[in-house]
Structures are given as C-alpha cells and as structure tokens.
Structure 1
Amino acid sequence: MPSSKALWQGVALAGLLASASPLCADTPKRVVSMNLCTDQLAMMLAAPGQLVSVSHLASEVQSSSMVEEARAYPANRGQVEQVFLMRPDLVLAGTYTQVSTVDLLRRLGVEVVQVPPATSLAEAVEQIRIVGQVLGQDEKANAVADRFSAEIATARFEGPPRSAAFYYPNGYTTGSGTLANEVVELTGFANIGATSGVTGGGILPLERLVMAGPDLVVTSERYPGASRSEDILLHPALRAVQDAAGVRLSSDADWVCGTPHLMRAIGRMQAARAALGGEE
C-alpha cells in the first residue's frame, strides 16, 4: 500500500493536472517561464516560437543544465511589469514563486500554472507530462517522459548498498523525502542524512559525518568569491573522510531539477558505486 506521503503527492499532482486541463483547448502561443525548473522543461517541450522568455537562472552554470539553450531566449527576473509586458497567454512558475507576483498576474488576466519541485523520480516523470499538456505538446512530452522512466528503471542497482552522504556549505545535507535521496538509493547507496533522521534538508554536524564514515561524500563546487559558509568543505576532517573512500564526487546543475538531465547525475553516481566495488 502506498504511504500517506505518496498518496498526498499523487493528489497534488492530480490537482495540478486538473487545473491545467482547460489550457489544452487553446494551445498557448506566448509562454513565459519564471522558474528554473519550468524553464528547462519548457525549453525541452515547447514548439518553435512558443516560449518567449525564461528566467535569468536558466543562464547560470551553477544552477542550469541548459545554459546554451537559454541563450536563445530573453531572460526575465520574475517582475510583474516585465512579464506582463511580454504579453504572455501562459506563465509557468514554481510553487515558491513570490505569491504577490502570481496573484497580480492572475488579477491582470494572465493564466499562471505553478509546478511544485519534484521530490521523487515518479513526480519528475509526471511533471514532464503536465508541462507538456499545458503547452499543448502532449505527444512530445509523453515520449520524453516514457524514455526518462525507462532510463530510470534500467539504472536501478541490485545488490547491497554502500553508504553516502551529501555535505554542503554550513554542513547542510539532504535526507529522506527528497529527489536526491531517491537518486542515491537508486544507484546503490544508503543516505547517511536519511539514516540520521534528516527529512528534506537539514544540518549534519561534521562530527556525526566523520563517525558515520560514509563510503562516498557528495559535495558541491565552491562558488566564485569568498563565502565563510563554504569553509567547512575544506575542513581536514572532511578531506580525511573523502580520502578514505578514494572516490570524490561533486553535485552540479544536473541535480537541481527533476528533468531528464538528472540521468547524467545518476550516471556519475553509478560510476562512483562501481569504483567502490562490492560490500566490504
């Protein structure tokens, strides 16, 4: 029987799909995306000339897997005036997009569809279909979703898991109920964050990480400029844990959104699991 969380997620996705259905009668001609993840889904699925703008985040290497593609579109910063003057008949936004912006666009008569961040691989696949439907690109979206789903299925590791941990600036980690956790489990790892009781995201003390002794630590690349929050990534204790494993891995833009680009992150996790070999 599915968990209560899975049931609620299914209800949320079904509600989003139902709210989007009226758009299918008239395929939108001018679509603006204000969210990094809907940017990428829209660039994958929109017909030529249908997408007229993506968010400025789509051009940031640290965040976006489609920087080159994003250069073909005018960038927006999610400001009501800027977006409205683009004369969209559909705006794609995230559920964390500023409420006042979404409300004002709707009061101005602009159709806004908000897409929540995917917290599982199943949601990621379903969101491709949802965005395809609101764009009137069902056939293309279904093909992309089916291929993505098949690739996920073939990527599943069979065998005893090794341990892994996410460790980011300020000691931030990712635990259960997240897309990243599902990727870790898919590729043959048990997530230290999840086994330590972290749900969603939270802080994992460095001492606890060292005591857990994960076989793999997934960190992030340092951003340009100085940031004291990143100093922990240079801590000798963290380096010792990484050196003991002998395998180093950094997350990148492919981890950010639930798009088919996630398969590249999955591929790197598979390579890391293969490098670690069998259970000790």
Structure 2
Amino acid sequence: MGRLIALFGLIAFAAAAAEAAAPVPAPAARVASLGLCTDELALLLAEPGQLVSISFLGHERRETPLARKARGLHSNDGKFSSVAHLKPDLVITGGVVNRFARELAERTGTRVIDVPPPMTLDDLRRNIRTVAAALGHPARAEALIGWMDARLGAVPDSPRAALMIVAGGLTPDVHSIAAELLSHAGIRQMVTPSRRVTLEGLIAAPPPLLILSHYRASQFSLPQDWLGTAKRISGRTASVDGRLWSCPGPLAAADVARLRAETRP
C-alpha cells in the first residue's frame, strides 16, 4: 500500500507542476467508469471528488489492489441505467462488454470515451493517455507511464523459457500483453496446444520455470494435488498477483520487476 501512496503522490505532483505551466481545459466533474479495467485507470488518474461511480468489481479487494481508494464511491453494475441518476458528464466504457451501455449513454447526450482492453503495452500507454486527457489531466498520464516504464525496464537478452498458468489451467497467448509483460521480466512464455495445460502434458515436458497466477484461489478450477504435482516436476516455480494481470494495467509493472528479481538465474 505504501508504494501505491507514493505513486499517487508522484502523479499528483507531476500533474500540478505541468498544469500550472500550461493550464488545460476544465475537466469532467462527474465521471462514471463501467468496468474494472477502466475503474483502475480512473482511480489512478482522477482528482479526488472527480469520480462519482465505478463498477462493483472496483470495490472488491479480491479484484483490485485499488479497492481502498474506491471507498465512498457509488457502485454500478456496468450498465448506464445504474449511473444515469448520478448525471455523469463523462462515462468511461471498456470495449465490447459495455457496448449497449455506451450506445444508451450516447443517446442521452452524455459524453462517452471507450477504452478497449489493451492487447499490447503500446495499447496500454494509449489508454492511459486517453483517460487522462478526458479527465483533464494529461500530465498525469506521462507521470504514470514514466513510473510504469521505469519498472518494466528494457527487455533482457536471452529470455528464460517459462510457462504461466492462470485460472482453469489456461495459459496466456504468446502474442498477448501478458507475454509482453513477461518478456520485460526476462521470461519467454512457452507455446501450449489450445492454450490449455494438462497434468499429462506437464509430466511429459516439464517447464524449466512454472509461474502461477494467484487470482481468486477458489476459481482456479484445478485440484490442489494437480498443482502440487505440477510444482514438484517443474524445475522452479514463481507466482504473480493475478489481479494485476487479469486487467493488465500500469500496476503490473511492479509485479514484473519483482518477478525479474526473483527468477534471475
């Protein structure tokens, strides 16, 4: 939590300095975010009092490390109808999942920005800038991106092969943003058939490094003895905070830095 407080302070300081030098247009005063991924960006970039509602997932500590910062905010169900009475002057949606909410908000004349889930780190940087600009704080975007990139660092040469497993025995695609994040930790995500891991497959070809994503342990959908066997046959195991990878955002950079330090040869 201390790291998050320091991050908020850095973003606020950079924004205040930049906005004093070059004032920006008046920001939206009543902002509603309708999805977890946009909740996190809004919580990181908005001024206190600027947000009036975030999704119910943004209030859950099991879902996001920013849940404490959401205290006191209205909780919505991802539909525009659940925030219309708050009279937001900006609604932030998150791609296809919020399509109908976006269309309804636009019909009422409410300003909407759509921020699809990022497929790459460049997409993520673009999303950060989009949200910050809509909130009226473009300097905060550059401060947050600078913080993120400093922790990501350069992609190391000669990455180590590893296999990340998320809920249900699934693995991230080798071309996904998760794989790109892993590359900054010096790790190359291994290819798996159908992006699904079986115990038989692990026994036949155990990965040199097994990375488990801890996110909603009750939903991992794999027997504990299965996981125990997987750990024993792998050359080495590591874990990540699944909350930071289910909605890949800037906070995942800190997990990448930790993973890089913990898995050095």
> What is the TM-score with the length of structure 2 in the denominator?
0.81
> Distance in 2 between the 1:32 and 1:228 partners?
31
Quote the residue 2:103 is aligned against. Answer: 103
Alignment deviations for residues 223-272 of structure 1 (CA, whole Å, 9 cap, x no partner): 365x6823277345313234x32x33143212233332112210221123
Matching of residue 230 in structure 1 with residue 230 in structure 2 = no
Mark the CA change 1:27 to 1:173 in structure 2 (over 3 Å): closer, same or farther: same
Amino acid corresponding to residue 186 of structure 2 in structure 1: G
8 Å contact from structure 1 (residues 219, 233) kept in 2: no
Mark the CA change 1:100 to 1:171 in structure 2 (over 3 Å): closer, same or farther: same
8 Å contact from structure 1 (residues 157, 187) kept in 2: yes
Matching of residue 266 in structure 1 with residue 256 in structure 2 = yes
Quote the residue 2:175 is aligned against. Answer: 177
> Distance in 1 between the 2:134 and 2:34 partners?
15
8 Å contact from structure 1 (residues 164, 215) kept in 2: yes
SS at match of 2:148: helix
Amino acid corresponding to residue 94 of structure 2 in structure 1: G
Quote the residue 2:6 is aligned against. Answer: none
Quote the residue 1:211 is aligned against. Answer: 204
Alignment deviations for residues 163-200 of structure 1 (CA, whole Å, 9 cap, x no partner): 211223432111122111011111111211xx3466xx
> Distance in 1 between the 2:171 and 2:189 partners?
10
RMSD across aligned C-alpha pairs, in angstroms?
2.4
> Distance in 1 between the 2:73 and 2:136 partners?
20
Mark the CA change 1:161 to 1:145 in structure 2 (over 3 Å): closer, same or farther: closer
* Consecutive unaligned residues in structure 2, runs of 5 or more: 1-23
Mark the CA change 1:160 to 1:76 in structure 2 (over 3 Å): closer, same or farther: same
Identity score, percent: 28
8 Å contact from structure 1 (residues 119, 178) kept in 2: yes
> Distance in 2 between the 1:123 and 1:233 partners?
38
Matching of residue 256 in structure 1 with residue 246 in structure 2 = yes
Mark the CA change 1:137 to 1:28 in structure 2 (over 3 Å): closer, same or farther: same
> Distance in 1 between the 2:128 and 2:39 partners?
12
Quote the residue 2:166 is aligned against. Answer: 168
Alignment deviations for residues 97-149 of structure 1 (CA, whole Å, 9 cap, x no partner): 24222212211222221101112222222221111111111122222223323
Amino acid corresponding to residue 101 of structure 2 in structure 1: T
* Consecutive unaligned residues in structure 1, runs of 5 or more: 1-23
- With 227-236 and 155-164 compared, the bigger mean Cα shift is at 227-236
Quote the residue 1:62 is aligned against. Answer: 62
- With 182-191 and 210-219 compared, the bigger mean Cα shift is at 210-219
> How big is the shift at 1:47?
2.0
